[in-house]
Amino acid sequence: MMEASWHDPGVPRTQFVRDRLTETSWEDRQYIDDLLCLERCMVYGGGIRSAYIGVSLPVETAAIREEIKEGVYLPPKEFHARKAAHRELEDFRRQQGEARKRDLEEAQRRWWRSVGGREPTVIDGAGGNQRGR
């Protein structure tokens, strides 16, 4: 095997990315490419792609940043625990957002009825309602 170099864009620089590499199938290689991009961007400066990846992979981004900038390695077991906790938080936020959206729609519907708006009919929902009717 070739010796890893900081300057070779295809060689993982962090143990974190090397760990993900051993867990990732060939079919999911884009994930590894994204992690390699994050590593390069943290060393040499980033661009739009790294910003997008950072938003879509926040746990991985933090782990790579900690290892590169502070020398703190995140072991696989702790990474998976953080990833699961993040997923639970995102699910909770999504559910809260959906509940707020339903509550807002119901409040708007009550207001609509209170000012004389009519209830939608089945045909309205199918695009049959026209203005002026």
Structural domain that includes position 87? 75-115
Predicted local confidence at residue 7, as pLDDT: 57
- Is 122 part of any domain? no
- Is 83 part of any domain? yes
Specify whether 62 is located in the same domain as 93: no
Predicted local confidence at residue 122, as pLDDT: 66
> Which region holds residue 29: left if phi is over 0, alpha if psi is between -120 and 50, else beta?
alpha
The predicted model gives 30-59 an average pLDDT of 89
Specify whether 43 is located in the same domain as 10: yes
Predicted local confidence at residue 46, as pLDDT: 74
Enter the pTM of the model.
0.68
Predicted local confidence at residue 120, as pLDDT: 73
Q: What span, in angstroms and rounded, lies between the C-alpha atoms of 61 and 116?
A: 52
Q: Is the pLDDT of residue 69 over 90?
A: yes
pLDDT tens-digit map of 81-133: 999 999 999 999 999 999 999 999 999 999 999 999 988 776 655 555 555 54
Q: What span, in angstroms and rounded, lies between the C-alpha atoms of 119 and 108?
A: 12
